[in-house]
Amino acid sequence: MVGLLLAIIYLAFISLGLPDALLGSAWPTMYRQFDVPVSFAGGISMVISAGTVVSALLSDRLTLRFGAGRVTAVSVGITALALLGFSVAPNYWVLMLLAVPYGLGAGAVDAALNNYVALHYESHHMSWLHCMWGIGASLGPYVMGFALSNGQGWQWGYRYIGILQVVLTAILLLSLPMWRTRRGGAADRPGGASDGPKKPLTLRQIVAIPGAKEIFVMFFCYSAVETTSGLWASSYMVLGHGIDAVTAASWASLFYAGITVGRFLSGFMTMRFDDPTMIRIGQATVAIGVIAMLLPLPSNVGVIIGLIVVGLGCAPIYPCIIHSTPAYFGEDKSQAIVGVQMASAYVGSMLMPPVFGLIANHVSIALFPVFLGVFLVLMVVMHERLRRVRG
């Protein structure tokens, strides 16, 4: 039973990644059909991000009341309905409306699943699960491409993923008894742990916990590094180093490949190194990648290798921070902490890439590695402060 539940959670992480790149891959077709400017994709993305922030902040309250299994199943179901709604949306404003449940469902399942795994499974499973998310995020555009190339339209791309999410919802509902048979704790069952109901913590109470602010800033910084790299790497290579657009796009895609491969490898490394060591290894690797991008190596070798190395360095940081949360703050507070961690990550993802866009536009895109380096240094400082406060 334990192995079957773990397999379902792996499947859930793949499913969690599937919709993430759908909008980007479908939008070149969608915006023409809806007769809106290409920039309007940002509005949908921001509504989705805002929804994930809200649901992540509510995850402690929801999980204490209903249990991680129910929250996960219902959240995936809400996301499935939103995706199916996307596939029949008649205009842009309906997409904006559907983006609300889309984001709410995604944020809740993200926070609930991550905390559940942090409580009940070893660190290598957390790394491999996030590797599965990367596989899902990579498969999503292929599903959309299949629909578009076969003349089915972007609607069927969303429909395929929505149907898969409906199937996963059914599997999760059938698996609910297995979630309750895991070892005790607030993440397993509705109403809290077996020693009595617990009240959800307010945001003020969560932030006041020693070490909480440090770990939230770490998540913000990590997301700033990852999402800024993913969005601006290709432009940096084209505009900053004169690499042609096709080649730059190919090399930039290796950043996410580096994260996915890195998380697969990190799963084995966590069997030898603890979470804080893995975080430091990841941070040191990102630093090497940033430095490589700054070196004047011939044929832009430093830029290309540096970007891949930054991806490899990012790989262990996110899952290992999450997995270490119950050890730092206790199982009774971990869901509350993880929820705000997810919210911090979403805020970083939403705000920092546009901020660098302003810097690139008004100062210079050559500051790309410097921008990453600033957030890396702040993340390192916060991690060491966390270690002093909670270590």
Concatenating the DSSP letter of every residue in 296-342 gives --GGGHHHHHHHHHHHHHHHHHHHHHHHHHHHHH-HHHHHHHHHHHH
Q: Which pLDDT does position 198 carry in this prediction?
A: 67
Q: Does 149 have pLDDT greater than 50?
A: yes
Q: Using alpha carbons only, what angle is made at residue 53 by residues 143 and 76, rounded to the nearest 5 degrees? A: 45
Residues ≥6 apart with Cβ < 8 Å to 353: 227, 228, 231, 232
42 vs 14, higher pLDDT: 14
Q: Which pLDDT does position 181 carry in this prediction?
A: 53
Q: Which pLDDT does position 186 carry in this prediction?
A: 45
Domains assigned to the chain: 2-197 (1.20.1250.20), 206-390 (1.20.1250.20)
Q: Which pLDDT does position 203 carry in this prediction?
A: 84
Q: Stretch 324-346: mean pLDDT, rounded?
A: 87
Per-residue confidence at 387, pLDDT binned at 50, 70, 90? Answer: very high
Q: Which pLDDT does position 281 carry in this prediction?
A: 96
Residues ≥6 apart with Cβ < 8 Å to 239: 360, 365
Letter string b/e over residues 254-292, b meaning 16 or more CB atoms within 10 A of that residue's CB: bbbebbbbbbbebbebbeebebbebbbbbbebbbbbbeb
191 vs 350, higher pLDDT: 350
Average pLDDT, the chain: 85
Evaluate whether 130 touches 263 at the Cβ level (below 8 Å). Answer: yes
203 vs 97, higher pLDDT: 97
- pTM value > 0.85: no
CB count within 10 Å of CB 296 equals: 6
Q: Stretch 243-254: mean pLDDT, rounded?
A: 76
Q: Does 254 have pLDDT greater than 70?
A: yes
pLDDT digits (tens, 9 = 90+) for 150-204: 888 889 989 999 999 999 899 888 888 877 655 444 445 554 444 445 677 888 8
Q: Stretch 75-98: mean pLDDT, rounded?
A: 92
Residues ≥6 apart with Cβ < 8 Å to 10: 128, 129, 132
Q: Does 132 have pLDDT greater than 50?
A: yes
Q: Stretch 264-281: mean pLDDT, rounded?
A: 92
Q: Stretch 212-216: mean pLDDT, rounded?
A: 93
According to DSSP, residue 367 is labeled G
CA 259 to chain CA centroid, Å, is 12
3 vs 359, higher pLDDT: 359
Give CA–CA dist 79/17, Å, rounded. 12
CA 361 vs CA 39, 94, 127: distances in Å: 16, 32, 36
Q: Poorest-confidence range of 249-258, 348-357, 369-378?
A: 249-258
3-class SS shares of the chain: helix, strand, coil, % to 5: 85, 0, 15
28 vs 92, higher pLDDT: 92
Q: Stretch 80-105: mean pLDDT, rounded?
A: 92
Q: Stretch 315-323: mean pLDDT, rounded?
A: 91
Give CA–CA dist 300/307, Å, rounded. 11
Q: Which pLDDT does position 140 carry in this prediction?
A: 80
Q: Poorest-confidence range of 63-67, 287-291, 323-327?
A: 63-67
Phi, psi angles (nearest 5°) of residue 188: -90, -35
CA 7 vs CA 3, 121, 134: distances in Å: 6, 12, 16
Q: Which pLDDT does position 1 carry in this prediction?
A: 56
